[in-house]
Amino acid sequence: MNAQTNQQRFLGGLYGSLVGDALGVPVEFKPRADRVADPVTGMRDYGTHGQPAGTWSDDGALLLCSVESLVEKGFDTEDMGARFVRWCNLGHWTAHGTVFDIGIATRKALLLIEQGCPAELAGGQDQYDNGNGSLMRILPVALAFHLKDETLFCSHLDRASAITHGHQRSQMACVFYGLMVRGLIYGLDPQAALQQAQVCFVGIYEKSEEFSHFVTVMQPTLGTLPESQIGSGGYVMETLTAALWCLLTTSSFSECVLKAVNLGDDTDTTGCVAGGLAGVYYGLDSIPKDWQAKLPRQQSLHDLFHPFIPLCAP
């Protein structure tokens, strides 16, 4: 794959995540029935959180903090955690200077970090700590280290997850997502990327007690499941499954992210995670220009992403 295609995929993933997040923000927490009656077809304003159109949530802000940390410090979980705290307390990398949404597990972990807890020990390790708060921000780590050997690649995903979500299930979900992203970067179509990710995942985790929780995403026929079997709440396995399913059952960036958001419930995160996959696969140019133009802080995003891209393809 040539450098231009690489850049298209990396920027597509980053902007795609933000766009998917922003599409979901105005309708977050609303049930699927509401979206059936009134489907999202483009950027909306206000709604659930009273934000202008194009506003990303905690998902996008923590993803951007991760990019900034990787650019300025390399892989340094202490630095990454400190930037997350800065987001929580000072609105760092928010769309408009205000934090309007934060998950319970993330808030708890960041408070521990603020009190001196090592970042990689801050994330909750109980089975009830498996929200989607690390999955939603893991894409930059997958992009930055996709060329590394599998052990290092998976370790970085694990460790980055642990800052806010330290249970193995959440960490494994981040690894599965990373493996999927890696296949898409290499130019595989979604079904082939899924199959490759499944093979790698089995090799790494087949003997884990947590492996049984991945039975749905391990199905070769995941893309044939009816929508009624796809959850869209805040549980990490629901978000991972929904994002994969949306990519497998659509044929364009727009179709994928709108399908994700119109599943209802945790719309911003499902949109963000699906948007990252679709952006990597279809590339930056596939993202509707009017959607991308709605994102605030355009120059700041450009200045942040410009030095990040070379890290992904040295």
> Quick one: pLDDT at residue 314?
61
Contacts with 64 (C-beta within 8 Å, 6 or more apart), sequence order:
93, 301, 304
Output the six-digit token pair for 186: 């290499």
pLDDT band at 18 (very low <50, low <70, confident <90, very high): very high
Establish whether 59 is an annotated binding residue. Answer: yes
Output the six-digit token pair for 123: 């994330």
The 3-state DSSP class for residue 235 equals strand
Output the six-digit token pair for 198: 């499944």
> Quick one: pLDDT at residue 94?
98
Establish whether 58 is an annotated binding residue. Answer: yes
What does the pLDDT look like over 224-274, one tens digit per residue? Answer: 999 999 999 999 999 999 999 999 999 999 999 999 999 999 999 999 999
What is the C-alpha to C-alpha distance for residues 17 and 98, in angstroms, rounded to an integer? 19
Asked whether residue 80 carries a pLDDT value surpassing 70, the answer given is: yes
> Quick one: pLDDT at residue 1?
44
Establish whether 269 is an annotated binding residue. Answer: yes
* Residue 84 neighbours by CB distance under 10 Å: 28
Q: Which of 49, 55, 51, 79 is nearest to 65 (CA)?
A: 79
What does the pLDDT look like over 86-145, one tens digit per residue? Answer: 999 999 999 999 999 898 999 999 999 999 999 999 999 999 999 999 999 999 999 999
Q: Give the count of alpha carbons within 13 A of 217, CB side only.
A: 34
Is-above-0.95 flag for pTM? yes
Task: State which H helix or E strand residue 49 sits in.
Answer: none
pLDDT band at 4 (very low <50, low <70, confident <90, very high): low
Asked whether 190 and 247 are in contact (CB, 8 A), the reply is: yes
Establish whether 57 is an annotated binding residue. Answer: yes
Output the six-digit token pair for 84: 């997350």
What does the pLDDT look like over 267-307, one tens digit per residue? Answer: 999 999 999 999 999 999 999 999 999 999 999 999 999 99
> Quick one: pLDDT at residue 258?
98
pLDDT band at 313 (very low <50, low <70, confident <90, very high): confident
Architecture per CATH, 3-312: Orthogonal Bundle (1.10)
Mean of per-residue pLDDT scores for the chain: 96
> What count of residues does the chain have?
314
> Quick one: pLDDT at residue 3?
55
